[in-house]
Amino acid sequence: MASLKELKGRINSVKSTQKITKAKQMVAAAKLRKAQAAAEAARPYAQRLAAVMASLASRVTVSESSPRLLAGTGKDQTHLLVVANSDKGLAGAFNSNIVRAALVKARALEAEGKTVRFYLVGRKGRAVIRRAYPQAIEHMFDTTDVREPGFTEAQRVAEELTDLYMAGKFDVAHLFYSKFRSALVQTPTEQQIIPVPAPKLDAAAPATIGGAVVEYEPDEETILAELLPRYLRVQLFGALLENMASEQGASMTAMDNATRNAGDLINKLTIQYNRSRQAAITTELIEIIAGAEAL
């Protein structure tokens, strides 16, 4: 049985841990508001750009002369899985859920006889993928020196992916990130980013955007070739913003659970301490009474 001194030390230790988790929860809550606002503000821009892309793609016949980011390589053998993680832990299952979704996709592709490669963004999750696919890591994009990955990092990732694609390193690229729903819900999401899938256009208005008739100058193919790299950057930027919001939501929830668990443990240890202390007092009283009676 633990001594009173040991129990007192454990209670103080858990209280110190509780203060840390409570502080981390408050920091995550403050960061969540900013990250959530940024993610939600980026969504309308991405949706509008997708509408423009859909209008253009509906007017262009995809052929060998089309931009390669849209037409593809003509093959479907080598798949690159772009896994976007964070650099920090203490966020519950945020990172592991993204990695798990990527590994499930990798195994499914291998079952179809495809070749799988990985492009890793962020430090977390690397160890798991390295153990599962030690020879399949194509590139690791380091974000440890970046406080909050943003458009600059999305642009660099887009350029590196485009260079790898043009060099024939892969045929199809899939992006894995966490879609922010709420502080309690973050959904691991898979999205094909290369070749860029033509966004769907409302069949009722194939030549309009938002109900307005649009004429393009210069021609649609020229504009589409210019917009495809921008569209790729926007998709990656949106994924990074969604990841940041999801990470802070998961971190806030995890730290809240840790704070509650620490409180429960403190209560249990306090009860155990009081019982042990009362038992020690009772034992001393019995010894005193027994000694007095012996005299």
How confident is the model over 249-284, as pLDDT tens digits? 989 999 999 999 999 999 999 998 888 888 888 888
Question: Hey, where are the domains in the chain?
Answer: 41-250
pLDDT beyond 60 at 212? no
Task: pLDDT band for 43, please (50, 70, 90 cuts).
Answer: confident
| E strands present in the chain | 78-84, 115-121, 137-141, 172-180, 186-194, 208-209, 212-213
pLDDT band at 206 (very low <50, low <70, confident <90, very high): very low
Residue 82 φ/ψ, nearest 5 degrees? -90, 110
Does 291 score more than 50 pLDDT? yes
pLDDT-derived band at 207, boundaries 50, 70, 90: very low
Q: Is the pTM of this model over 0.75?
A: yes
Nearest CA among 284, 269, 281 for reference residue 7:
269
For domain 41-250, the question of CATH label 3.40.50.11710 is answered with no
Confidence of residue 122 (pLDDT cuts 50, 70, 90): confident
Least trusted range by pLDDT, from 31-35, 71-75, 173-177, 257-261:
71-75
Mean predicted confidence (pLDDT) in 143-163? 85
pLDDT tens-digit readout, 7-39: 888 899 999 999 999 999 899 999 898 888 998
At 101, phi and psi to the nearest 5?
A: -65, -40
User: Can you give the pLDDT at residue 16?
Assistant: 92
Average pLDDT for residues 88-95, to the nearest whole number?
Answer: 83
Cα-Cα-Cα-Cα dihedral sign, residues 225, 121, 83, 188: negative
